[in-house]
Amino acid sequence: MTQHVLITGGCGFIGSNLVRFVLEHRPQWRVTNVDLLTYSGNRANLADLEGHPRYRFVHADIRDRERMSALVREADAVIHLAAESHVDRSIQDTRPFVSTNVLGTQTLLDAAVDAARAGTFRRFVHVSTDEVYGSLPLERPQDRFTEDSPLRPSSPYAASKAASDLLALASHHTFGLDVVVTRCSNNFGAYQYPEKVIPLFVTNLIDGRKVPLYGDGLNVRDWIHVEDHAEAILAALERGRAGRVYNIGADNEHANIELTRRLIALCGRDDSFIQPVADRLGHDRRYAIDSTRAAQELGWKASRSSWPQALEATVRWYRDNERWWRPLKH
């Protein structure tokens, strides 16, 4: 049984929720959280855990081979989430995405291979995205991405994640490292940096500002609550098969225009708050995940993601936690 897990990017949105989930649901485990605290890494996400006897924060760069080697040697497993993750930013400047998502991942994998050879390391869980698969057509709603779908990333962000996925799997096949890769659909929930669509729209609407809707608004995403994702990551760590990829989704597809109107209604506004803007370059039309393998092999299924309840709870969280998001708005 894993006792000490190293979580990279634990001050980000998914990472901070995962840290909390592990400490709550695995009462014997210790967590080391390594984060560089770039713009979306926010130590305030976990401020209430400072001084927790089973939690440690380390401010470090995953590209630092010496630091990562020392930290990985101390751990039984790594859950790797640290990444540059915003598609729009990757279009503006690709270099940080290649540096962190590709080179940073390789640095961690090298450290894990060395630790495994020393006999002290059990598993490396690489957390990725459904965006590596590219886009599905709107006119074929029955189509879903499976783990055998070809990798056809459309954005620099997705390409950097696809590269890191392949490096992780190559470390398994070449060096025998125990690696599991998860690919998840769009997350929502508490502590999400307010450049992403749900917190951006909710906080804009709270402030009486319009919300920017890309293109025709018909792009479809499969939404999963971040706590469902955290549970799936733990299932992959504990029950996944080495060298396998697991798709993680909630079968919760909604077009962007539908999401926008739901948020507008929940915030007591009307359609006059929609500001159409030019579509994102290379904007994927539809994502949809087939999570059959995760259900069959991990015994996992989403249970917290259903709308409207989960979306309403998320909006309430941002309403009730203005002190958290207000300093992050530009």
Domain chopping of the chain, boundaries? 4-328
- Per-residue pLDDT at 1: 57
Structure tokens at 315: 């909006």
Using the 8-state DSSP alphabet, how is residue 151 labeled? P
pLDDT single digits (tens) 109-133: 999 999 999 988 899 999 999 999 9
Q: What is the mean pLDDT of residues 293-320?
A: 98
Give the residues across from 184 on adjacent strands: 129, 248
Measured between its terminal Cα atoms, the distance across the chain in Å is 44
Which of the following is catalytic: 55, 133, 157, 191?
157
- Per-residue pLDDT at 97: 86
Clarify whether 147 is annotated catalytic. Answer: no
pLDDT single digits (tens) 276-299: 999 888 788 999 999 999 999 999
Which of the following is catalytic: 130, 165, 227, 253?
130
What's the CATH code, domain 4-328?
Answer: 3.40.50.720
- Per-residue pLDDT at 281: 83
pLDDT band, residue 36 (cuts 50/70/90): very high
Shortest CA distance to 200 belongs to which of 318, 284, 82? 318
Which of the following is catalytic: 35, 76, 84, 131?
131
pLDDT value at 39 more than 80: no
Q: What is the mean pLDDT of residues 152-165?
A: 93
Q: What is the percent of the chain with per-residue pLDDT over 90, rounded to a whole number?
A: 88
pTM of the model: 0.96
- Per-residue pLDDT at 91: 83
- Per-residue pLDDT at 119: 87
Q: What is the percent of the chain with per-residue pLDDT over 70, rounded to a whole number?
A: 99
pLDDT value at 83 more than 60: yes
Clarify whether 246 is annotated catalytic. Answer: no
Using the 8-state DSSP alphabet, how is residue 28 labeled? T
pLDDT single digits (tens) 14-25: 999 999 999 999
Clarify whether 133 is annotated catalytic. Answer: no
Shortest CA distance to 302 belongs to which of 186, 198, 162? 186
CA–CA distance, 65 with 117 (Å, rounded to integer): 17
Residue 65, phi then psi, degrees to nearest 5? -60, -45
How many C-alpha atoms does 41 have within 13 Å on its Cβ side? 20
CB-based contact 21:227 (threshold 8 Å): yes
Name, of 75-89, 92-106, 221-235, the range with top average pLDDT: 221-235
Q: What is the mean pLDDT of residues 300-304?
A: 97
